[in-house]
Amino acid sequence: MLDGKKILFSGMQATGSLHIGNYLGALKNWVSLSNDYECFYSVVDMHSITIRQDPQELRNNARNILMIYIAAGLDPIKNCIYYQSHVPAHAELSWILNCFTYMGELNRMTQFKDKSSKHDTNINVGLYTYPVLQAADILLYQADAVPVGKDQLQHLELCRDVAHRFNAIYGDVFTIPEPSLGKAGAKIRSLQEPTKKMSKSDENLNAAIFLLDDRDTIIRKFKKAVTDNFANIKYDAENQPGIANLMDIYAVLGEKTIAQVESEFAGKGYGDFKLAVGETVADALKPFRERFYELKEDKAYIDTIIKNNAEKAAYTANKTLRKVQKKIGFPISN
């Protein structure tokens, strides 16, 4: 605990542009969680290089994502918002935890299998040991809670297993983190293939609504969203996944129930509904975009946040790292 509050850790990779699925499934939830926890929100740029990145693009993406955190409503004074690569303890603890993680455990990680099939020309060791670095991210800050989607539960379970194993040998060194599952709106689907999750790496730019898209682009993308031939605005995720996806987005951003959405559009066509969803999303993202571009102009302010929060993160992380190093027998410098 810090200052009487439980600790929470989470982060996003510094690749691509964040979309409304990232906002509704994570960022929006992070803002509410920051009232109840002492929060560490990382831009996990070290994780990003398991796939080859253009150096300048990676730096730009990392800075943009950090500013997006703030524009979304995360107070950078109240919350520790920082770059993973600015805290060397992440890499140092990751190596130590590698020595307490079994090959069989990593062989069972389904995300490694999925990513290997997509990047078969670059199946590197970092891709394989990614979950160990993720465990180090979490355990460094003695996190009590980690907001995760179902696709990350396996990695968190590995983190818990490794922490239990280390504690069984050396005593209560690590806090055992618990999952904090996302709330409604966490499963935003592709606008072009609504049976799949919305993805920032989708080659079809019409499939995702990016947080920095302008109003006209947002409305145009929703007008092109794939629906069906039923011409019936009813929530049926199995038979009408496209309409169900649009209803989820409209309900969450419009703060309405699905029943209210169905009633509002009873007897109306898909064209009217798509336009309404597009306008609602554009209106909801307008203050966010304006705040983002204000932050982008204030380079000195962002640079100060980056420096101060890196120091804050490193102070907390290094306390855990020193404790671990002492426990396993590394020489301690004076």
Residues marked active site are found at 115, 197, 200
Number of neighbours of residue 266 by Cβ within 10 angstroms: 10
Tell me which residue of 292, 40, 291 sits closest to 146, measured CA to CA.
40
What is the distance between the alpha carbons of residues 321 and 326, in angstroms, rounded to a whole number? 9
* Whole-angstrom Cα Rg for the chain: 21
Q: Any residues with CB less than 8 A from the CB of 206 and at least 6 apart, and which?
A: 191, 192, 221, 224
Three-state secondary structure call for residue 2: strand
Q: Please answer whether residues 173 and 167 qualify as being in contact, where contact means their C-beta atoms are separated by less than 8 angstroms.
A: yes
Number of neighbours of residue 314 by Cβ within 10 angstroms: 18
What is the distance between the alpha carbons of residues 307 and 254, in angstroms, rounded to a whole number? 37
Pairing mode, if any, of strands 7-13 and 38-44? parallel
Tell me which residue of 2, 83, 84, 73 sits closest to 38, measured CA to CA.
2
Long-range contacts of 263-269 (CB under 8 A, 24+ apart): 265/233, 266/233, 268/233, 269/231
Q: Please answer whether residues 134 and 165 qualify as being in contact, where contact means their C-beta atoms are separated by less than 8 angstroms.
A: no
Which residues are registered as beta bridge partners of 7?
Answer: 38
Residue 29 φ then ψ, to 5°: -70, -35
